Amino acid sequence: MIRVALPNKGALYGPCVELLTSCGYKVKKPTKGLYFEDSKNQVEFYFLRASDIPMYLNKGIIDVGVTGEDFHREKQSQASKMLDLPFGHSKLCIAAMENTILDDSNQVKSLRIATSFPNLVKQHFNSTGLDLVELDGAVEISISLGLADCVVDIVETGATLKSAGLKVVGEPIFTSNAALFSAQESQSKEDVKRFIDRVNGRLIALEYQMVEYDVPTNLLDKACELTPGIQSPTISQLKNHAWCSVKSMVKKEDAHQILDQLKAIGCKAILLTNIEMARM
């Protein structure tokens, strides 16, 4: 059995459950309770606060955990990042009331700053003498309540700041995404390696598609240049020896252009399919 920690709510919860379900894990947060055992796959899932997961990993209590890079850095975690995950993209931004005149984000140094990320703020301003107000959440309301003059908070679309009458000041102090981390002492466990390999397989499946096409044998090299694959394309001979069939993985973002190019050089029966899962 390995222990895996997932955020129990918020922006990372849904995407985490979806990712692990597509990897064949049974992930179900009980209505009351923070633990679920997937006995078939020998995994115990713990649903914890995203901000607490680095501490559990640091102490080696949990083998693997998903949280944001921002919390990993804020909590000065010793856990190792194993995989970047394609969700939880956000920025830590300085924000102040819309009518505030701040020409330079350095002026913020002398203001009362409310945040859930005190260490990242200190690191950013390279200063220990800041007037920091540490809050667990709902940071955006602290200015209108008179607790702070500005905030450093998570921004994705900017809707939360806007509805609180705030604007971003200067450049983001940190850019984050969700990631899968492993406790130092768990990295060599075979069960942990298998878990990470499965998740990585699904991430590759999401990033690539499979293209298959028929190509005249004299154009095979030219076509393979367009579809080199990861290792090498698979080539099969058609019954009509003047033609070959090629199968190759292509990056999803490039797939449609590659299909256009294959058609343009004379390939036929060009098919593009999604990949459900991979092991590389």
Ligand X SMILES: Nc1ncnc2c1ncn2[C@@H]1O[C@H](COP(=O)(O)OP(=O)(O)OP(=O)(O)O)[C@@H](O)[C@H]1O
Q: Which residue of this chain has its Cβ atom nearest to Mg ion in the complex?
A: 10
In angstroms, what is the minimal distance from the CB of 87 to ligand PRP? Answer: 13
Residue 221: contacted member of ligand X, ligand PRP, Mg ion, none (CB under 5 to 8 Å, by partner type): none
Tell me if residue 68 falls in helix, strand or coil.
strand
Could you list the residues that contact ligand X (CB under 6 A)?
A: 7, 9-12, 50-51, 67-68, 70-71, 88-90, 136-137, 154, 156, 176
Neighbours of 254 (CB within 10 A): 14
Q: Which does 93 bind (CB under 5 to 8 A by kind): ligand PRP, Mg ion, ligand X, none?
A: none
Using CB under 6 A as the binding rule, the residues of this chain from 97 to 156 that contact ligand PRP are 137-138, 153-156
Q: What's the rounded Cα separation, in Å, for the pair 13 and 34?
A: 13
- Coil, helix or strand at residue 209: strand
Say which amino acid occupies 91.
Answer: K
**Dist. CA 262–CA 271, nearest whole Å:** 11
Q: Which does 68 bind (CB under 5 to 8 A by kind): ligand X, Mg ion, ligand PRP, none?
A: ligand X
Site string for Mg ion, 5-34 (x = CB under 5 A): -----x------------------------
Amino acid letter, residue 103: D
88 binds, among ligand PRP, Mg ion, ligand X, none (CB under 5 to 8 A by kind): ligand X
The minimum distance between CB 172 and ligand PRP, in angstroms, equals: 12
Q: How would DSSP label each residue in 7-36?
A: ESSHHHHHHHHHHHHHTT------SS-SEE
Distances (CA, A) of 222 to 51, 83, 89, 114: 51, 34, 38, 59
Tell me how far, at minimum, the Cβ of 10 lies from ligand PRP, in Å: 4
Phi, psi (deg, nearest 5) at residue 199: -65, -40
Residues that bind ligand PRP (CB under 6 A): 10-11, 137-138, 153-160
